[in-house]
Amino acid sequence: PRLPNEIWREIASFLPRRDLRSLLFVPHVLSSISSQLLFRRLCLQLGTIPPHTSCQRVHEVPLTADSDIVGWHAQRSAGILSRLASDVIYANSVRSLSVWAPGQFLTSANMAMLANVLPQLTNRKAFTCRMCNNALAQLFAILEKSHPKLHNLVIKSTSITPSPLPKLHFLSCFAYRGPLIGRSPDLRELLSSQTVALHTIIIHRGIGDYSTPFHSTSNLRKLHLALSIADADFVSQILSSGHQLESLWLQVTLKLGCVLSTVLRAHARPNSFPSLSEFSFLLRHVGYGYVDEDLFPAVAAFVRGAPALTALCISHPPGLNTVGYNSAFSDVLPLLINLRALKFRVPESLSFELSASLIPRSVVALELQTPFDVLLPGSTVSKIQQLLPLFPGELKFLSLPANFSPNVESVMRDCPPTVRIMCLNKCYYTIHRTDKEQTFEHWTGQRERIYVNNYLEEVDCEEIRFLYSRLPLCW
């Protein structure tokens, strides 16, 4: 039909990115409209992605950086920046921009192009950057002048020294991921300086031992923290004022004497968190001699008070027997009838068959953590193949931790026909099915570390996002 371009644009704005890409090849005004809409969310890769070492060990494939792939991404990013610099329509289309520079520095040419383009993105509301401190400082100086009212900011520093922080005061979403080693900056001043209400805070390796909250949680809808806790009052004050939380993700190291069970039980009342749909409690480590046998029973009681959960992650270090994990969730999981995504460590006291039967049938994304060599003696692969029918029938994603390197394809061939993505020993695969054959695509480093958010949307597996370890910095 002969419709005005404005109507076509309105129709196309509701399409997912995979459909917009298909429209690029249509000889119609929809082609240019789709191209502009795809520019709403851009990701630029300036540098080399390091090899995925865990997959390299498993498959003995040298996953070193491919110069052709690196060159292609560099050419693509340069082409996008050139288009933005020369075409105001495309520049005005950008709403979210991500810049990834895994190396130690950005070239002067890359920095000059970014400095030229960033002020022209007048409608940009979100910015993600992964680079060294020197490059961060230069980009923040540009942002403070060109986008003082930026709404969403994600920072991931690759340096071991404390990263610089921008002087932006209108953030509603803020995420920070510090380096594995080295010191991180004190983020409390930046958070407290905001003139609008922050509704999303995501911090990984960004703060040290805290005994008091660094920011009020009364207006937060999403709070993701990976930190070391020395005083249970820290969690108590977060929960006391965080009744509007929709997503709570905690990955904690507990110091000796930090007893969280009493705090969690105090907030385990029904409807204490009426909007809570995503909850994660990942116990990473405890101090030597730590004992709290009521910890995970208290976590289970907290989960029981939020029956509307759609995503749940529960885990603890293997072999830790002083936190009451074994029998905590056997009577809670079946109650979560709305659950769509589940990450769960199988208790050593339960058989794998019983644990699998406890998983709600509504789950479509499942990650199981368990020592298969202990729970499933004998032929691990054959045992898994026997147990696959016990999983929910509509699974889209299945993650198993055991080392299946000699039999990866045999496991994936026997997985439920609805599964589109599998993770075996931290390596991700997409399963492609046709009437005649079934093929498996191993994820590249670029997809796994940079473009996974868009890819999950393409394959209709967005339920994985809360489980995926590299995605907490995305919203």
What is the full DSSP assignment across 358-375?
HS-TT--EEEEE--HHHH
Q: Nearest-CA neighbor of 245 among 235, 232, 255?
A: 235
Task: Give me 346's structure tokens.
Answer: 């199988």
Q: Which residues of 240-251 are buried (b: 16+ CB within 10 A; e: fewer)?
A: bebeebbbbbbb
For helices 108-117 and 133-146, angle between their N-to-C axes, nearest 10 degrees: 20
Residue type, 156: K
The β-bridge partners of 313 are 280, 343
pLDDT of residue 373: 46
Give CA–CA dist 377/379, Å, rounded. 7
pLDDT of residue 48: 58
Question: Which H or E run contains 155?
Answer: strand 152-157
pLDDT of residue 53: 41
Name the pTM for this structure: 0.86
pLDDT of residue 278: 94
User: What's the average pLDDT block by block, 10 residues per block, for the chain (475 residues)?
Assistant: 86 89 88 92 75 41 52 84 93 92 72 91 92 89 93 88 89 86 76 86 69 74 88 88 91 89 91 92 90 93 91 88 86 92 85 83 89 48 70 88 60 81 84 84 75 82 78 45
The secondary structure of 52-108 as a DSSP string is: -HHHHHHH----PPPHHHHHHHHHHHHHHHHHHHH-HHHHHH--EEEEE--SS---H
Whole-Å CA distances, 99 to 96, 142, 153? 10, 14, 12
Extended strands (E) in 205-308: 222-229, 247-254, 278-286
pLDDT of residue 211: 54
